[in-house]
Amino acid sequence: MLVLISIISFMFLFFLLFLVIAFSWFMADVLGSNAMGFLCGGAVFLIIILVSIIFRNALFVNPFIRLFIHSSLSEEDEEDEY
């Protein structure tokens, strides 16, 4: 389960990276400056980082705790069946 979550997270990060690069090139065309376009793309990453820090318990910690508790309980149930 942990390997699957890692792979999905890795693929999502690549998707997000390419999406921000496309956004940066779009903003570069709109603003007329590559530097300003990629600065806007950097701002998107900064916003994502800030949201991740502010809501880290709700987004990361609590779901992982629930996942580990659920997997531990399901392993105990499987052991009880034998």
Written as tens digits, the pLDDT of the chain (82 aa) is 778 888 998 999 999 999 999 999 999 999 999 999 999 999 988 998 999 889 888 877 787 788 878 877 776 655 555 5
Q: Is residue 40 part of a domain?
A: yes
Structure tokens at 19: 């999406």
Q: Is residue 4 part of a domain?
A: no
How confident is the model at residue 29, as a pLDDT? Answer: 95
How confident is the model at residue 71, as a pLDDT? Answer: 77
Buried b (16+ CB within 10 A) or exposed e, 1-11: eeeeeeeeeee
Q: Is residue 1 part of a domain?
A: no
Contact 27, 44 (CB under 8 A): no
Q: Is residue 38 part of a domain?
A: yes
Looking at the structure of the chain, the number of domains it has is 1
How confident is the model at residue 77, as a pLDDT? Answer: 59
**CA–CA separation, 14 vs 62, rounded Å?**
24
**CA–CA separation, 10 vs 16, rounded Å?**
10
Q: Is residue 6 part of a domain?
A: no
Q: What is the pTM of this model?
A: 0.62
Range of the domain at 67: 15-81
How confident is the model at residue 82, as a pLDDT? Answer: 54
